[in-house]
Structure 1
């Protein structure tokens, strides 16, 4: 029986941090269902509109590693207060954007401000809760993240159809005001240590900005620009590689490191971080893949896509509170391995897509994946921080969040590339078996007396049918590879230890 008591102030601080994590997590996905409407309203092309998401993600991935350093200078209370306030103001300003350039600029500000809220929510759980309540804290953290992923496209799609894309940016107001109230009432003020600014690692920060920012741009834009056939992508990739080398060298061997990357050398934290990287790739990638599949091949509206994803969030909402009790009966590493296997089973349900595979396949697939996610998030987070000193909480939370988001960027880019390349492959293979001289093809096209215009129309219909079948097979391949990656993670989870080394 747990005898350690947690004060009301500590719970308010933790819950406030979780609201910040929820806001920032939802905002990553909230524009996904509304992008076509935003592009049409602002007169942007698809490629231009993609920067609405890219700008946010680039700013976020850059700011996450800086969070622990900023807290050491300005204090956790000030960093959270400023981050939440700027995030809310930028969110409201996004809804008033008169053009694409303004919206992209505001999304950069929004991403940078919201980025600090993700690792700080994790840090508050580690620092405010005793070990006996860590599982409950991580369950709430899992719940905030998981529901945010489902709520973003779901609520965003509904608001876009019912009102306007501008309304999606007001979703942050209520949790934002609650977060600011929690910060003011529950997080104690600490003095600033501005002397640390003069001892800042300027070279390491520059390397991180170029490295992580450039890598995010390459992953987001590479597929649209034909990867290394583009001079822009090639130059950006080279700059990112150099920047990452400078960043890692300065943090591992420099005297002014602002984030402790050596934590990755701890056995449990290192293995858990790799697992979280792949977990982020699978969850973010599939949250990107499913709406695209439903829109492209099943012709779902934004609202229909949102409705299809509601069950994904609800099942996690129901299961997350039971995870702490389950951890008393099962080994955490068994829970992590089981969660990965359950998620793999959900992906496996999507490996045999056909023309009739709409909500009847996607909803069961997302529900099964949703069942597995709380097992992973809660137990993996507990295993990762086991044995870590509370003084290491800032770096640990920043590294964990950075790798999860980076994994999400890699997973999204990888799955998008798999769909694109496998569609071309399957189109070519199907095309090899079709010929105008084939009797079955001639039967579909009609007799030789058919007017040329009608024949041309039927040829175009046949080509569209081939491409549709190729896309169905390509999406199936993507689900298949995601299932394999998750099964590998299940095996790796069994190698973890109960205590950090």
Structure 2
């Protein structure tokens, strides 16, 4: 449980700034697009350390890695809470991601190292209910703290929690097994190549839209270098006597299919969590706390499913859970395809519930079949790879979504602008809203009817174009839920089902 709550602390901290960008923008005196670097820095640092955490836990022990990682996370949280400098904030967020990222695979390793296979279903249910569902609670917690206290409390709350976990870990965590001989067999080439390739990939994804993608020589250069370093890394790890990451784990068919499914999971979870707050903030104009509350419905549904998922896993097996979970996610996502500017909590409630229940079933079922046949000696390596692929899947899908959201909004804006009837009722209603916004500013000149109509058409086109873009992206990602179902016949059956 100590390691589980360390994992929760890390997951919430990554997502916590998602609903409070505008408050942070004002506090740090930067542009809104610069604030996104706070999440990017966290993600980049986290992705770099995750693949090495399995090797580090074997080298210095799970206990020591947990204590070191949590100590670094504590110091980084203090830095984030008390700095007023944007660049220092980004640096401390990167430190948070690097030290917190080391904690992520430890939880998955401990499930399979400490418990026998009969106990694993209930442990998976507990960890998924408390741990992974916290992905959806980050924005809610951040929004509430920002509105009720201040943005600094998004980081200050980490301090007492981390201190308590450090004390408990120091006295009660008894996972001291280590392999000092690994220090004499460090695969420096593998470490450098993997870290370089991951950083280049994330830089390409984060900066691509800003630099107009392959029109920029920087993006072309980073993309080519990323591909080269990835190929060199794979060659190195497949031929090295003591690879930093044993890629032979992918010879395990269930694990390979599980990794494909976890990419799908990342797309189905992270993309809506990314788009929904943007829609609620930009279109509905609601505050961080309300945004967080709406997003957290999925997390609450996930948690509510927890007490039953282990029973279902024992009774039906992992493959059946994947099937049911994908069907529920498909239905819930399809429900969100036709959102309008009037959609609020009531309209989004049931789609979020279905997606939350389905996500719990898909996650537990997939992790169960993916790790079932992994030998004990390969657990830490497999857990690191599993988490790395989840994070990369989420990062790539969000970056691609951002690109298409921007491009499709422009396209649909053009369609709508050309088809708006200047005498339509909706345009008149929008004009009246605009007039109402400025009625308390008598120093402003009166708008002519023609100018009001043009301004209303512009606002209406931008808003509806944005909504149509979201709906089309949602429709596209809905079909990802079919992929795990198609792969089910290829999964090797576990002994229970």
Structure 1 101/79 Cα, relative in aligned 2: closer, same or farther at 3 Å?
same
Q: Which moved more, 1:49-58 or 1:180-189?
A: 180-189
On the 8 A contact 2:211/2:219 being kept in 1, the answer is yes
Bigger CA drift: 332-341 or 267-276? 332-341
Question: Counterparts of 1:71-150 in structure 2 under 5 Å?
Answer: 71-150=57-136
Corresponding residue for residue 310 of structure 1: 296
Tell me, yes or no, if the aligned pair for 1:207 and 1:245 is still in contact at 8 Å: no
| 1:482 counterpart = 2:462 | no
Distance 1:486 1:444, change over 3 A: closer
Q: Is the 8 A contact 1:19 1:175 kept in 2?
A: no
Decide whether the 8 Å contact of 1:208 with 1:244 is kept in 2: yes
Residue 487 of structure 2, aligned match among 460, 483, 492: 492
| Equivalent residue number for residue 45 of structure 2 | 59
Residues 5 and 131, structure 2, Cα contact 8 Å, conserved in 1: no
CA distance in 2, matches of 1:461, 1:442: 8
Counterparts of 2:78 and 2:431, CA distance in 1: 55
1:234-257 deviations in Å (ceiling 9; x for gaps): 322222222222222222222231
| Residue 407 (structure 1) aligned with residue 393 (structure 2) | yes
**Are residues 189 and 474 of structure 1, via their aligned partners in 2, closer, same or farther at CA, if it must alter by over 3 Å?**
closer
Query: Is the counterpart of residue 173 in structure 1 residue 168 in structure 2?
Result: no
Partner of 1:461: 456
Instruction: Quickly say closer, same or farther: Cα 1:116–1:335, change in 2 above 3 A.
Output: same
Structure 1 residue 179, shift from structure 2 partner: 2.9
Alignment partner, residue 438 of structure 2: none
Q: Whole-Å Cα distance in 1 between the matches of residues 293 and 13 of structure 2?
A: 18
Q: Show the 5 A alignment for 1:53-452.
A: 53-188=39-174, 190=176, 193-434=179-420
2-side partners of 1:186 and 1:247: how far apart?
A: 38
CA, structure 1 residues 430+391, in 2 after alignment: closer, same or farther (shift >3 Å)?
A: same
**Please, which moves more after superposition, 403-412 or 351-360?**
351-360
Deviation (angstroms), 1:189 = 5.6
Counterpart of 1:8 in structure 2 is none
Distance (whole Å) between structure 2 residues aligned to residue 437 and residue 314 of structure 1: 45
What SS does the aligned partner of 1:30 have? helix
Separation of aligned partners in 1, 2:148 and 2:329: 33
Corresponding residue number in structure 2 for 1:5: none
C-alpha displacement at 1:124, in angstroms? Answer: 0.6
1:437, distance to aligned residue in structure 2 (A):
11
More displaced 10-residue stretch of structure 1: 218-227 or 419-428: 218-227
Distance 1:151 1:440 in 2: 36
Question: d(CA) in 1 for partners of 2:116 and 2:493?
Answer: 17
Contact kept in structure 2, 1:294 and 1:305, CA below 8 Å: yes
Distance 1:81 1:342 in 2: 39
Shift of 1:438: 11
Quote the Cα distance in structure 1 between the aligned partners of 2:332 and 2:36: 28
Deviation (angstroms), 1:284: 1.5
Structure 1 position 192, deviation (Å): 5.5
Aligned counterpart, 2:441: none
Shift of 1:194: 4.6
Give the SS at the match of 2:413.
Answer: helix
Unaligned runs of 5+ residues in structure 1 are 1-14
CA contact (8 A) 1:309 1:363 kept: no
Q: 1:241 to 1:65 in 2, by over 3 A?
A: same
Distance (whole Å) between structure 1 residues aligned to residue 431 and residue 110 of structure 2: 66
Deviations 1:398-425 (A, max 9, x none): 0100001111101211222222222122
CA distance in 1, matches of 2:334, 2:188: 46
1:490 Cα deviation after fit: 2.6
CA distance 1:189–1:38, shift in 2 (3 Å) = same
Per-residue CA shift, 1:18-66, capped at 9, x if unaligned?
1111111111100111222112111111232211111100000000001
Relative to structure 1, is the Cα distance of residues 196 and 332 closer, same or farther in structure 2, using a 3 angstrom cutoff?
closer
Deviations 1:190-228 (A, max 9, x none): 376555334211111111111111212222332333322
Between the two proteins, the alignment pairs up a number of residues equal to 482
Does structure 2 retain, via aligned residues, the 8 Å contact 1:151–1:313?
yes
